Structure 1
Amino acid sequence: MTDSQRPLVVVLFGGTSGEHQISCATAGGVLASINEEVWQTFAVGISPEGLWVPMPNDPSAYALSDSGGYTVEAGDLRVAILPGTKTLIQYEVDEAGAMIVATVTTIGEIDVVFPLLHGPFGEDGTLQGLLEMSGIRYVGCGVASSAVCQDKYLTKTVLGAAGIDVGEWTTFTRVDWQGDAASCRERIGQLGYPVFVKPTRAGSSLGISKVDGPSELDAAVEEAMSHDPRVIVEAASPGREVECGVLGTADGSLTASAIGEIRVLTEEFYDYESKYFDPNAVALDCPADLPEGVARRIQETALVAFEAVEGEGISRIDFFYNEETGRLILNEINTLPGFTPASLYPTMFGAVGITYPQLVHALIEEAAARPEGLR
């Protein structure tokens, strides 16, 4: 069904996490920017129930709006990767959801998957493992890097061992909380209030609460645990919230972006709503108004962190910078950052002269150049 003269790129989006609609919006930007004279694209959506379905190559269909975003719905068509191969097939299902064998058709051999699945079961190494088992190249970080960076506990542990300042924090599970909440509260109290209570493995600021005192703690823990049974609690890090993107290219080189700074205008912190649905809630300064030496230090630390977690292709690395003390705390690494044309990552690279379509093609080319197997 595909033109064998052009490599096939499967743009994969949606997914089962709470960031489904953000993933769809990202897919719209990518689909609009791939040069169809060089690559042929096939859009695949994963419904909230985990069903893989063929989708229209219509970038405008997936945009966010004031009322929300797009949700993948499964009809009577499905797609699948044949186990142990790079072959993408399409087929119809009956009323019970079973494959109608007579309807199976081959889409083609996949050259690169561009996964745009934010959060668990997409950005956390699970999808990357599936693709590795089929020998399919894909954009972005590998299994281990994706898993480590999706889990804030593992991120801080690995980066701390690499000598990078990750601030003060503690973590516990639902079992810990239910079995000995008093001990958990004591450890949190030692951090000093305010603290930020977060799901360990969620993204897009889902489930995060700022807690100003012990009376607010239980509700914040329950909110975080509605997204993840493991919670991390971080001491507040006074300072400016600054970001740096890292781009890995096919020749093996790494490029750091300009530094961006998020200034929250209407909320106490950069939460889910202010990120995606309230354009008046935040301002992004890019490049950030920082001394040259500080900006260079942030870029250098971002590159060290990217290599410490064995990053590939793409990451956005978030910091807190305290002007009074000079302290630079690495907050988190996003291996699949927001990637609409208006998102932070492309904006920061735009400031150093790399356009959104150039980013898209650089990432596809980097993935296509990777060897199969362990690397």
Structure 2
Amino acid sequence: MAWDAIILGAGAAGMMAAIEAGRRGRRVLVIDHAKAPGEKIRISGGGRCNFTNLGIAPDRFLSQNPRFALSALKRFTQWDFIARMDAAGIAWHEKTLGQLFCDGPATQVVAMLVRDMERAGVALWLDCAVGEVRREGTGFTVETARGPQRTKTVVVASGGKSIPKMGATGFGYLLAEQFGLPVVETRPALVPLTFAEQELAWMRPLAGVSVNARVTAGRTGFDEAVLFTHRGLSGPAILQVSSYWREGDPVVVDLVPGQDLAAGLRAAKAAQGKSALRTVLGRWLPERLARHLEEAAGVTGVMAELSGAALDRIAGGINAWRLVPVGSEGYRTAEVTLGGVDTRALDGRTMEAKGVPGLYFIGEVVDVTGWLGGYNFQWAWSSGWAAGQAL
């Protein structure tokens, strides 16, 4: 056969698998329809690539089987990837909550991976469309724009549906179903939430305001920044909770987490009765937001004029602002795809399809979705590494 492994997708997971298989002496071909490799790496983290997180743990990943990812994550850890960054001389720093970013441009990470593929003897075909993939004998034939290619194994590293302007498609899910593998329903994740006009009319004057808050959906909550936009709510806390939110359910926003605002307002009334509500709220909130909340509450007088019941009502709306999103901004702005190839159909150690020897699925196409903050890249490195050891 011409190839030992054909890897479909030159993203983080695909390049990682190619490097590992190439280093083990395998004849490896990576094919991607994009004109450049690692495009999601290039744009991630504001162009600085949030390449992993110091706090990798199983509870930071969503899946029908959250324990599936454990084997790969334990065998190729964040420390292993950090060591590769260090060996390549790529400087990095911890930003917040264990998130690691490059000091310089994310293209350094892409260049490192491409260089490692070249050194491992991996062939890379870019701007090359892939057609039918079919089982023939003990191997596979992959139809490509450069003609049919024979291979012993196929690794699907085609990613999810997020950010279609960069070429994302549902190709990997269709291929899984073609070979009889179940696919967990997919949906946009790590995505801004959208709201009905009534809520939007309230939010729009605050566009650009950011506040540290706690956002909860069901039993899961995140303490991070919330950003008001012209389209609704965004920011890390909203993106995180979007993976847990479902249509029709509320989200609850605490704009002053850890603060008993009712008690705080009552104390302020006693101590500074001549102050305006916005002045008191300004202790905890940005000025624009404090002023907006005062107007929304219809308060025109000073603190001394407000009843205890009024203060409790105002505090309740700030400590537990309950909203029902109408949807999300969708795959257009989603950072990742939730759902994917059902992990029950895959071997957690090798990423090989249990019922189709020689067929592997890695990275975002699998039903493993990490939190915001470098977790999804670590899953790409780890799952790619695991498959690369088995090819």
TM norm structure 2 = 0.32
The answer to which structure, 1 or 2, has the higher relative contact order (CA under 8 A, 6+ apart) is 2
TM norm structure 1 = 0.33
Bigger Rg over Cα: 2
